[in-house]
């Protein structure tokens, strides 16, 4: 297995934690860079300002986490989050009735994600998920849930994660019932 890119792990971890905290999570996350990667489909619809705000956070948090990293420059962050920035521009155009430039969308992404990233519990959860992604290469969303619980101080979360990985994890190869 090739060494996963740390910035991509940070990007994916931030998205996974936001999805766990704010809305319907993905079933599975993994680090894939380059031609293999396709953006997961996310409906860019909302019924209220609250839903639109949460959608903006979910779209923006990966970009904002990478942009805040000392290992990334702005062009790198924008390249990693290109599809998310297009989604942010689409949501903002729907809310404001006018399209924004990529730079304006990036600035609004930072604003949208700031409170989420500044929350200590979210920062701990993102760091823990990022570390596990770099170690494992992929995590299913049940594993992310256990890691978020551990970051929140749940005393048995890491033990539960290990039990889950030993019995049910989709990232375990071969499956426990296979030889």
Mean pLDDT along residues 35-63: 76
What's the rounded Cα separation, in Å, for the pair 65 and 88?
15
What's the rounded Cα separation, in Å, for the pair 102 and 155?
43
Q: Is residue 82 part of a domain?
A: yes
pLDDT at 4: 47
pLDDT of 71 over the 50 cut: yes
pLDDT of 109 over the 70 cut: yes
Q: What are the helix (H) ranges across 23-140?
A: 49-68, 74-80, 82-96, 102-118, 120-136
Q: What is the model's pTM?
A: 0.80
Q: How many domains does the chain have?
A: 1
pLDDT at 91: 86
Query: What element of type H or E holds 165?
Result: helix 157-167
Residue 67 CA, chain-centre distance (Å), reads 14
Give 115-127 pLDDT, tens digit per residue. Answer: 999 999 999 999 9
Q: Is residue 176 part of a domain?
A: no
Least confident of 15-29, 86-100, 108-122, 152-166: 15-29
Count of alpha carbons within 13 angstroms of residue 134, beta-carbon side: 13
Range of the domain at 67: 6-167
Which residue has tokens 């940070």?
10
Please calculate the CA angle 104-111-90 and round it to the nearest 5 degrees: 50
Domain of 125: which CATH number?
Answer: 1.20.58.760
pLDDT of 1 over the 90 cut: no
pLDDT of 145 over the 50 cut: yes
What's the rounded Cα separation, in Å, for the pair 171 and 143?
9
pLDDT at 13: 94
């Amino acid at each position: 297995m090739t060494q996963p890119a740390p910035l991509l792990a940070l990007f994916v971890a931030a998205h996974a934690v936001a999805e766990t905290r704010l809305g319907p999570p993905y079933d599975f996350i993994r680090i894939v860079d380059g031609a293999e990667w396709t953006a997961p489909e996310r409906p860019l619809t909302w019924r209220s300002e609250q839903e639109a705000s949460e959608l903006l956070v979910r779209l923006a948090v990966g970009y904002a986490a990478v942009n805040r990293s000392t290992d990334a420059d702005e062009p790198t962050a924008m390249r990693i989050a290109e599809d998310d920035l297009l989604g942010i521009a689409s949501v903002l155009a729907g809310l404001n009735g006018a399209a924004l430039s990529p730079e304006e969308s990036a600035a609004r992404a930072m604003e949208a994600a700031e409170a989420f990233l500044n929350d200590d519990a979210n920062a701990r959860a993102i760091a823990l998920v990022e570390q596990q992604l770099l170690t494992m290469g992929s995590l299913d969303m049940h594993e992310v849930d256990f890691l978020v619980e551990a970051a929140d101080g749940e005393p048995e979360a890491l033990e539960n994660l290990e039990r889950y990985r030993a019995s049910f994890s989709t990232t375990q190869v071969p499956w426990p019932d296979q030889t």
